[in-house]
Structure 1
Amino acid sequence: MSFTGDILLAASVEKLMLKNGYGYPYAKARNYLQLSDITAANLETPVTLRGTPAPNKQYVYKASPDALPALIDSGVDLVNLANNHTLDQGEVGLLDTIGYLKKVKLPNVGAGRNDAEAFKPVIKEANGIRIAYLGLTRVVPVGSWKAGPNHPGLAESYYPTRAVAAIKKAKAEADVVVVMVHWGTELADLPNADQKRLGHAYIDAGADLVVGSHPHVLQGFESYKGKWIAYSLGNFVFSGMPDKRTADTGVLDAACGAGGACSLAFHPMRAVQSQPAPLEGEEAAALLKRLAGISVHATIDANGLIHAKE
């Protein structure tokens, strides 16, 4: 399996795609996205031609459904919608997003027409192994964005209760359980206490791999009870930001067996004009060294392989 951080298909990224083609953002990373059996990403924008912009938000996004075929062609097989931009265009925008993704047959997790749908996993199968993907967010701009029994929204996880129940249920249906979660503090190198508390709770409930996003920068990895937490994969395809660390990105590979044990490898990249490209030599080594330095009970070797350590 492979994973990327935040993918934005709106704002300045959309302008670049309209100028250079919808496949432009993935041109230099495509091989890394296509080699795995399943590649999953965090989709940081609603896909709609309608909607009412969310009030009192600094950044409000809207992407065209025309951008979706290139996303699929790049190698992305599944997207997480549980984040703080999916309802930027209201419930209409969310429902349109789900509809457009269904139309192009791109599975999604973390949001739905009600809470049962939002917390429901997508189960994929590869080489006889069943993998359950769940999407969660601890970043919800307003309470009405949370999915309820009778209204659309996101699978929120300010407290782990509902997430734990969903993970336990998924574990009974699949060999491997992956939790993709939006959480943390923007531009922070280290995970905060909530990330650690929730990440541990997810694994205690049966998750085999937890992959985070939202901080816009790479955070480290943690080996916990023989399982893995990637606290933040940062931006992958995103608008340029003043902090240079937000351009550092990469693709995380996880080779998992039927028992749930996973081996991780990270391919370091840097995005220029919203286009991530592999790093080599000293630049790659420096990024991997920085990640190793902020990881917990884990280290990263020169080849990007992530190892558990006491």
Structure 2
Amino acid sequence: MRIARWETPVAEPSDGFIIDDRVVPFPDGLTVADVLAQGLDAAHGIYDRVKDAAGTPLSDVRLLAPVQPASIRDFVAFEEHVEGVSASVDGKSEVVPEWYKAPTFYFTNPHTVLGPGEPVSPPVTQRLDFELEIAVVVGAAAGVGEANLTAAEAASTLFGYTIMNDWSARDLQSREMKVRLGPAKGKDFGLSLGPWIVTADELEPYLDADGFLAVRAEAWVGDRLVGEDLVSNMGWPLPELIAYASRNSRVVPGDVLGSGTVGNGGCLGELWGRGSELPALQTGDVVRLVVEGIGELVGAVGPQVAAPELPPARERSRARRR
């Protein structure tokens, strides 16, 4: 099943299924959030209720981000990406020993999510980049919302997959991470999701013997292929990312977890770290991310937006009394 959100010039946004070349709304006014809260088995029952409906041609609607995330965790699960981008951002190519111990992630901004074809409005930056990722969407299942899920329990909460583009201003990212926090302002201006959610059962044929999702992923800037990889090259299978996220914490339906950027050119930053002279993204550039079994997510670069200036930190006396 493919699940999406869309709008038309004459109607309010709708949530539902993409069936062949048409969009069919969920019955009873249900939303994507409602369906995720019911889980994958219930979604199949909902699909059966509307699968023969006429719907609307897909070509007549504009797709929106397929989910309004409850939260977004973005992992860094591809060793090859870490090797390259560390040289670009930090000036030294390395994979620290700590990377191998656990699938590290950061939280990013659920309020600046963009949909398919929606242009990003970056800050003023000299090193604008994209990141090609696959994202998992959490749905209801036994144990969801509880802490410390096992990998098997986490796998049952994996409702579906979508494509994720974590737009990045590498110069801002490099500066702020020297303070040992972040990334923050280098990332939180835009993150694209889409074009739809493909339910987990659809991609089961691509799972290898170790549970890794062996789908091919490609990154294109304009008509140039700049990166290609198999998602199965990540250090941990996707359910283990969910399990780790739940350690002494909770994941809930509607949470989105990014795999991290694929290797071998999943972003320009990795290529820069390996000596590439490919230019940073510029206004008008079009990035197309293609993932086997899911589809493609296209996004254009809009004009840079200058933010109001803020002064640097003030020198203070460190007095302990007024």
Please classify the TM superposition score into its range, dividing by the shorter chain length: under 0.3
TM score, norm. by length of structure 2 = 0.26
Which one has the largest radius of gyration?
A: 2
TM score, norm. by length of structure 1 = 0.27
Which one scores higher on RCO, CA 8 angstroms, separation ≥ 6?
Answer: 2
